[in-house]
Amino acid sequence: MKTPNIPQTPPEVGATLQKMRLERNLTLEDLSRTAGVSKSMLSQIEREKANPTIAVAWRLANALGVSIGELLTPETRPVESIRVLEAHEQPTLPGDHAGYVLRILGPMELAGKFEWYELMLAPNGILASNPHDPGATEHLTVLQGAMDLEVNGEKKKLKTGATARYPADCNHSIRNSGKVEAKALLVVIHR
């Protein structure tokens, strides 16, 4: 008798979950509240760092108004050569209290390996970071305005067009000491 073909790994539902959440214009916090699942767990699931238990998947499916099968089955459609994400589809990490916004430009499946962001700093805004994992580096290219970079106590001023490459496995911060908004591309490489 032939045994059924059972996959050896659980399905990765992160991309499907994120797509369904964004189609409904829900933030992680909105879905967390509706489904009764922690925001950090939702983030881990969307980044494919964790798979939900059946109970969690059931709560998420109910909150999204879909069957559990729709949530756990990857969407099958023709592969497009070009996939365009509109600005509203790209998640952001607001640091309103610190005067920054990070727009996530890289695909979620690369998070923890290669990440790239658009960084917007209000006047006097600061993005202060604790050390990342050992060997991590950052590459910051200023697109508009000027930024002050501090890495492990060393300070540099960056003008429009400048790129700084520095270790990110130590304390580091990026500040806008100017009077207008500053923008940059920020790439994080994890080793």
pLDDT at residue number 78: 58
One domain for residues 47 and 107: no
* Residue that has been written with the tokens 């700084």 in this structure: 164
Q: Indicate which CATH number applies to the domain containing 126.
A: 2.60.120.10
Q: Is residue 98 part of a domain?
A: yes
pLDDT at residue number 3: 53
pTM > 0.95? no
Q: Is residue 20 part of a domain?
A: yes
Q: Give phi and psi for 101, each to the nearest 5.
A: -135, 130
One domain for residues 110 and 147: yes
- Best CA proximity match to 62, nearest among 85, 43, 34, 24: 34
Split into its structural domains, the chain has a count of: 2
Q: Is residue 185 part of a domain?
A: yes
Determine the structural domain holding residue 49 and report its residue range.
14-72
Q: Is residue 114 part of a domain?
A: yes
Q: Is residue 83 part of a domain?
A: no
How far apart (Å, rounded) are the C-alpha atoms in residues 43 and 146? Answer: 32
One domain for residues 178 and 94: yes
Angle in degrees, CA 18, 24, 26, rounded to 5: 70
pLDDT at residue number 106: 87
Q: Is residue 23 part of a domain?
A: yes
pLDDT at residue number 121: 96
One domain for residues 59 and 117: no
Q: Provide Rg for the chain, Cα atoms.
A: 20
Q: Indicate which CATH number applies to the domain containing 54.
A: 1.10.260.40
* Coil, strand or helix at 15: helix
One domain for residues 63 and 102: no
β-pair type (126-129, 163-167): unpaired
Q: Is residue 41 part of a domain?
A: yes
One domain for residues 107 and 156: yes
Q: Is residue 81 part of a domain?
A: no
pLDDT at residue number 98: 87
Stretches in the chain below the pLDDT threshold 50: none
Distance in angstroms between the alpha carbons of the first and the last residue of the chain: 47
